[in-house]
Amino acid sequence: MKKFLKNFCIVFLTLALFSSKASAEATFVDNFDVTSQETEPNGFTFNNDGTKMFITGHVTDDIEVYTLTTGFDISTASHVESFQVHTEDQAGRDVKFNSDGTKMFYLGGSGIEVNEYTLTTAFDVSSRSHVATFSVSPVGFPEELEFSPDGTKMFVLDNTGNDVNEFTLTTGFDISTASYVQTLIVDVEEDTPTGLAFTYDGTKMFVLGWENDAVIEYTLSTAFDISTASMGDSYVLPGAGGDNTVGQYEGYENSPSSLTFSSDASKMFVMGRSYDKVHEYTLSCYYGVVNCIDPTSDKDDVASIEAQAEVAKKLIQHTADPVLNRMEWLRRNTDNANLTPQNIEFQFSNTILQSLSKLIPAYLNNKATTSELKELETIRDKRKKLISENAELEAQNEELKLLAKQKLLAKQKDQENKAANNWSFWSEGTVSFGRIGDSIISSAKKIKTSAITIGADIKSANNKMFGMALRIGADAIDFGNVKNSLDLDTVSLTLYESLLFGKNTFMDSLIGIGRFTTDVVNAVGYGSTKGKRDGNQVFASFKIRETIKRDKLNFTPNVKIDLGFSTLSDYVEEGPANLKFNRQNIGTIITSIGGTLDNIIDLNGGTLKPFLEMDYYADISPSSEQKISYKNDSTSTYKLVNIKGSTHNFKGKLGFDFITHTGWTFTSSYQRIQNKGNGYSDGLYLEVNYLPSKDTEYSMSLDNDKASLDYKRNINGLDFTVGSNYSLVSEIPDYGANIKISNTF
């Protein structure tokens, strides 16, 4: 029965090779002869960057060391030295290192044990010192040794038992803490297994053997848990069953003894005992021995895609919140003397924008100037009539009254014209921390956001308010493996308006545009891939609120909707995986309902206004889709669909305003957003405003891609100007500052 199953499996594997829809296959490149050092090589490995190769064998009981002038290119290999280890064990089967090369592990066939060494210099065998020995019983005859990346799992391949044995280590890479866990029998697929390897994330296992001269692929539903392994496809080494003399030059070995991959999984290496050669193969994709690994099944890749989409949506909220906070602050402090204009002037190099900056104040201050002119005309007509009737005395008296009124009207008009060209200046700094927990398909994410928003607005007597704000921020996201990260630089420009409907009902609205650049880093083995992705977005937000007043206590219920559309550019990773990500479109629809409760407390130094805000918001955004392919494999496209965040979310915000009598105002608040699930975000907000003297002016200019902010103060007839500038789109940091002192004679 066993023989029948084995023969059936061989036939099945052969058919699978030819009938499979696999889009990848290893390609033989070159081989390297080690006969001069070892005539029965068994195991081998590389250092992390592939510039050193280590081989152990059955005859010499040595560890042979080779250097490679080009990492993982065996054509550049040359032998350096040999090290005897027969004192600890003989008939060497394999050699491995921990992740940083400070520990070496030697698997012997004589004592059937693993020997642990410490290395004072990473990957320098000459600096070794023996530490411990661990028997790998119940293994009958060991062939290959493997560790998980953190060293908490150890695997030994048994040639006589035709099985893989799993051990757990309570302390990573400390074999004194090892204990046997379980065994996976592979004799149906391969009854003479000699080589063993895992993907870096432990979701794939590869077994090499003499019987079929093939690499057999297994899928593990739980990483590094061999009890969850299921057999997939296989890759038959080139030349199998053919001319051995020719085949050896094509990568064929009728006695393959060991298997390993480059640290970036773009190459596979097979040791052959018949011809004493190391054979090198290139892989068209990450661990693509037979099939390319579906990137949508990699939790870290999924986490990266989800994080990019979620950040794009959150950026809309993070941009809108400071502006809405500003308008809410103005509502809470309507009667505050510190709200008077602060002499802000905007300058634009674009003539259209400059014209708009002049027209907006005029629009906001569209008072009944026609009636004023009509009244002045009536005054003039009445004066003429009095003179014509020779009522000289009455005319003079009346004229004095009318001229006084005319002067008063002119003075009021002059003040209104000045107010129309004055802006109030504000700023808000934000720091937030968040976390989204691990899921079935995605790794956990840690999010940190910091930003500063500067803005200016103008308010008219008819309760109109218009403003603009510039936000510059940075987001840092870590996910999954410690090497995985997203770093975003963001900039956005927002125009906003607040209108009064009725006595205490307001509608706050804003529109804006944003741009962001993302640096993507994904860990692959001991290396990493890098990519750069640009994004653009347009957005709008509308909020209706009504204030219910009870003495000094105010309650303001509100409803809000955030809308946006973002595009993420396509990009290709630089590195081993070589994944290509297509352009991604992300729609945003977020509705919320809530309310704010605030109170007024009079203090000696000013006024304290604590407030509490509670909101529920629903993310009803349409799901987005990300298409992925391998750079070197255009035949297969993978899709990650239904990319969207938590639908139900709750927000709580607690803070206070403190308005001093000296012109300063301070606002501080803490915010918690809790997703229905295991995600949350904590935010800390700080806003500072100051009412300067009448001799102080601010100026904000936008010249193409350069933004500048100037501060001007007149002291004893001297003009002091401090200026700064920042490039909005340059990839190279471009900052500047200047100071100027002048006087006019």
- Residues 493-542 have pLDDT tens digits of 999 998 887 777 889 999 999 999 998 887 766 667 788 999 999 999 99
pLDDT for residue 14: 39
Cα separations in angstroms, 370 against 39, 365, 374, 459? 106, 13, 6, 21
The 10s digit of each residue's pLDDT in 574-610 is 766 678 899 999 999 999 999 999 888 888 888 888 9
User: Residue 559 pLDDT > 90, yes or no?
Assistant: yes
DSSP letters for 431-444: EEEEEE---SSS--
Q: Which whole number is the average pLDDT over 107-130?
A: 91
Tell me how far apart the alpha carbons of residues 252 and 259 are, in angstroms, rounded to a whole number.
13
* Cβ–Cβ under 8 Å, residues 335 and 552: no
* Cβ–Cβ under 8 Å, residues 169 and 177: yes
Nearest CA to 302 among 229, 393, 378, 203?
203
pLDDT band at 293 (very low <50, low <70, confident <90, very high): confident
DSSP letters for 308-336: HHHHHHHHHHHHHHHHHHHHHHHHHTTT-
User: What count of residues does the chain have?
Assistant: 745
DSSP letters for 462-508: TS-EEEEEEEEEEEEEEESSTT-EEEEEEEEEEEEEEEEETTTEEEE
Task: Identify the top-confidence range among 70-79, 198-207, 458-467, 658-667.
Answer: 70-79
* Cβ–Cβ under 8 Å, residues 544 and 594: no
Q: Which whole number is the average pLDDT over 452-469?
A: 80
User: Residue 60 pLDDT > 90, yes or no?
Assistant: no
pLDDT band at 398 (very low <50, low <70, confident <90, very high): low
pLDDT band at 733 (very low <50, low <70, confident <90, very high): low
Question: Of the ranges 6-20, 380-394, 456-470, 657-671, which one carries the lowest mean pLDDT score?
Answer: 6-20
The 10s digit of each residue's pLDDT in 229-278 is 999 888 888 754 444 444 444 455 677 889 999 987 889 999 988 788 89
DSSP letters for 660-701: ETTSEEEEEEEEEEEESSSEEEEEEEEEEEE---TTEEEEEE
pLDDT for residue 98: 95
User: Residue 416 pLDDT > 90, yes or no?
Assistant: no
pLDDT for residue 593: 95
- H helices, E strands: number in the chain: 6, 43
Cα separations in angstroms, 310 against 259, 653, 743? 40, 21, 53
* Cβ–Cβ under 8 Å, residues 96 and 105: yes
Indicate the DSSP class of residue 574.
B
* Cβ–Cβ under 8 Å, residues 712 and 724: no
Sign of CA dihedral 32, 73, 195, 219: negative
Nearest CA to 286 among 576, 661, 519?
576
- Rounded to the nearest integer, the mean pLDDT of the chain is 78
pLDDT > 70 in the chain, percent: 72
Question: What does the radius of gyration of the chain's CA atoms come to, in whole angstroms?
Answer: 37
Tell me how far apart the alpha carbons of residues 281 and 600 are, in angstroms, rounded to a whole number.
75
User: Residue 697 pLDDT > 70, yes or no?
Assistant: no
Q: How many CB atoms lie within 10 A of CB 506?
A: 22
Question: Residue 322: CB partners within 8 Å, gap ≥ 6?
Answer: 428, 430, 453, 455, 469, 471, 685
Question: Of the ranges 207-221, 291-305, 311-325, which one carries the lowest mean pLDDT score?
Answer: 291-305
Q: Using CB atoms within 10 A of its CB, is residue 297 exposed (0-12), middle (13-18) or buried (19+)?
A: middle
Which is higher by pLDDT, 283 or 70? 70
* Cβ–Cβ under 8 Å, residues 322 and 469: yes
pLDDT band at 18 (very low <50, low <70, confident <90, very high): very low
Tell me how far apart the alpha carbons of residues 276 and 271 are, in angstroms, rounded to a whole number.
7
Nearest CA to 467 among 475, 477, 459?
459
Which is higher by pLDDT, 685 or 706? 685
Q: Which whole number is the average pLDDT over 417-441?
A: 70
Question: Amino acid letter at 463?
Answer: N
Rounded-to-10 torsion of CA 312, 317, 322, 327: 140
Q: Which SS3 state, helix, strand or coil, does residue 42 take? A: strand
Q: Which whole number is the average pLDDT over 27-56?
A: 91
pLDDT band at 13 (very low <50, low <70, confident <90, very high): very low
pLDDT for residue 253: 63
Which is higher by pLDDT, 196 or 710? 196
Please, what is the end-to-end C-alpha distance for the chain in angstroms?
110
Six token digits for residue 588: 């945003």
Q: Which SS3 state, helix, strand or coil, does residue 570 take? A: coil
Using alpha carbons only, give the angle 88, 92, 95 rounded to the nearest 5 degrees: 90
* Cβ–Cβ under 8 Å, residues 675 and 649: yes
Using alpha carbons only, give the angle 537, 543, 544 rounded to the nearest 5 degrees: 160
Q: Which whole number is the average pLDDT over 417-426?
A: 60
pLDDT for residue 64: 93
pLDDT for residue 509: 94
Q: Which whole number is the average pLDDT over 218-230?
A: 93
* Cβ–Cβ under 8 Å, residues 567 and 588: no
pLDDT band at 103 (very low <50, low <70, confident <90, very high): very high
Question: Of the ranges 272-281, 472-481, 688-697, which one carries the lowest mean pLDDT score?
Answer: 688-697
Tell me how far apart the alpha carbons of residues 302 and 177 are, in angstroms, rounded to a whole number.
34
Q: How many CB atoms lie within 10 A of CB 170?
A: 10
The 10s digit of each residue's pLDDT in 167-185 is 999 999 999 999 999 999 9
Nearest CA to 339 among 455, 426, 463, 420?
426
Tell me how far apart the alpha carbons of residues 489 and 491 are, in angstroms, rounded to a whole number.
7
User: Residue 351 pLDDT > 60, yes or no?
Assistant: no
Using alpha carbons only, give the angle 742, 743, 745 rounded to the nearest 5 degrees: 150
User: Residue 163 pLDDT > 90, yes or no?
Assistant: yes
pLDDT for residue 676: 78
